[in-house]
Amino acid sequence: MKVWPSIGQMRWGWFLLGAAIILVWPAFFDTHTPTILLVWALFALSLGLMWGYAGLLSFGHTAYFGLGAYVYAIAVVNIGESTVPLLLAILIPAIVAAIIGAMMFYGRISDVYMGVITLVVSLILFKFMSATAGDKYAIGDARLGGFNGIPGFPVLNVPGLPDVSLFGVPMYYVAAVALLGCYLICRWILARSFGRVLVGIRENEGRCELLGYSVPAYKTAIFSISAAMAGLAGCLFANWAEIVTPSVFSLRSAAEVIIWVIVGGLGTLVGPILGAIVLGMLKLLLSEQTVIDNSLILGFILVVVVLAIPRGVVPALQYWFGRRARIRTQRSAHTRARRRVAAPVRPS
């Protein structure tokens, strides 16, 4: 995989343009659907950071997305105020991922077995939460509910003010700030030596070990950071849907986020975000009809992208625009050279 020279470089112009569009959107359009698109974009960003820059593919990344949703729902039912549940929805998935990651990476598990283990973790959580129907399956005042999940819990509120709930446009801005903030954090990580080591691990793990870096520690750290971001996305999803069911751990959800990242483009941060927004919107539009199954369309798009532009849409566009810029520069240089050669020499 090509290592882009701008791997940690921040293009502030494009970032400010995107942030401005996101922030002014509620002034002109509805925010219900864009809110979930931003949540999915955050979820895809969490996987894109780990997979695209450290080379760690988690087939069960939905485990941490679902944990964030369930932890928030259970905690907020028992506490009644959303500040601590929000923090727990970020912290618990990160701790679980750190434990699982340490066992995998310090145990020198290969990439194939890592994918299998992460997928199994997600399926175990799906099966377990599906079997929690009945009054005996409860944590404090929160009944887990089995397939029916946990409905009707309090949504996010202004910290310290439980009576001031955040829904509608305020919820949209919470999701927008979370996405933009996590994007900046990802850029900061990649601009530091930590991010450079992650890319080095992706390119040649053995050489990084010979240079003295603790590869398992770096892998565990980025695995945990990615899980924390996925947990935050899960928490925001729970507040948007106002219900949490075992479907957040499903195989379908696990496959969708991988498709979003592949189509958008590995090795970029914008790619997974755009992939999640575009394909997520397509998913919502297709859900309005019953003629064709959504999975068939997403699978067809994945096959076309992998065959036509295997690096993804954003890296392909970067290459195309970069190539056009180089061609223009070369043509300008050749034109100036010809003019200098053709210019008549004035007698002294």
The C-alpha atoms of residue 298 and residue 293 are separated, in whole angstroms, by 9
Alpha-carbon distances, residue 59 vs 108, 116, 120 (angstroms): 18, 7, 9
pLDDT score, position 4: 43
Could you count the other beta carbons within 10 Å of the beta carbon of residue 327? 10
The C-alpha atoms of residue 283 and residue 166 are separated, in whole angstroms, by 26
**Ordered per-residue pLDDT tens for the chain, 348 residues:** 444 444 556 677 888 888 888 889 888 888 889 999 999 999 999 999 999 999 999 999 999 999 999 999 999 999 988 899 999 999 999 999 999 999 999 998 888 889 899 999 999 999 999 998 888 888 988 889 888 999 989 899 888 888 888 888 999 999 999 999 999 999 999 999 999 999 999 999 989 999 999 999 999 999 999 999 999 999 999 999 999 999 999 988 898 999 999 999 888 999 999 999 999 998 888 877 777 777 788 788 888 887 888 888 888 887 787 777 777 777 777 777 777 766 665 655
Angle at 100 between CA 254 and CA 234, to 5 degrees: 40
Residues in CB range of 242: below 8 A, 6 or more apart: 151, 152, 153, 155
pLDDT score, position 252: 87
Q: E strands of the chain, at which residues?
A: 138-139, 142-143, 150-151, 157-158, 161-165, 243-244
CB 264 within 8 A of CB 257: no
pLDDT score, position 302: 81
The C-alpha atoms of residue 172 and residue 33 are separated, in whole angstroms, by 9
CB 256 within 8 A of CB 283: yes
- Four-CA torsion 169, 175, 180, 186, nearest 10 degrees: 180
Give the phi and the psi of residue 211 in degrees, each rounded to 5: -80, -5
pTM, rounded to two decimals: 0.88
Give the phi and the psi of residue 162 in degrees, each rounded to 5: -60, -25
pLDDT score, position 73: 94
pLDDT score, position 161: 82
pLDDT score, position 347: 59
Domain assignments of the chain as residue spans, ordered by start: 12-311
Helix 251-264 vs helix 294-308: crossing angle, to nearest 10: 30
CB 82 within 8 A of CB 156: yes
